[in-house]
C-alpha cells in the first residue's frame, strides 16, 4: 500500500456520500421533469432509459432498441 493513498474507510465514506448526493439529485431532476415528454430507449422488455437518463417502465411488447415516447 502506498503512503499517499486514501484510507479504505475514508474512500468508502466518500463514496457513500457521493451515492447519496447522486440519488438526491436524481429525485430532484425527475420531479422537475414531471409531466414532461421524452424519448426513451427500450433496453430490455418493459424497461427503458430516457434522454435524461431516468429509468422508466414501458410496454413489455415494445421491441428492444426502439425509441418510445414517455411522460415522466
Mean pLDDT over the full length of the chain: 96
Percent of the residues in the chain that have a pLDDT greater than 70, as a whole number: 99
Sign of CA dihedral 26, 29, 34, 37: negative
pLDDT digits (tens, 9 = 90+) for 12-44: 999 999 999 999 999 999 999 999 999 999 999
For 28, other C-beta atoms within 10 Å of its C-beta total 10
Amino acid at each position: 500500500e502506498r503512503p499517499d493513498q486514501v484510507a479504505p474507510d475514508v474512500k468508502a465514506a466518500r463514496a457513500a456520500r457521493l451515492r447519496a448526493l447522486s440519488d438526491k439529485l436524481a429525485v430532484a431532476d425527475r420531479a422537475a421533469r414531471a409531466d414532461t415528454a421524452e424519448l426513451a430507449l427500450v433496453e430490455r422488455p418493459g424497461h427503458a432509459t430516457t434522454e435524461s437518463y431516468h429509468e422508466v417502465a414501458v410496454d413489455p411488447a415494445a421491441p428492444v432498441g426502439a425509441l418510445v415516447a414517455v411522460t415522466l
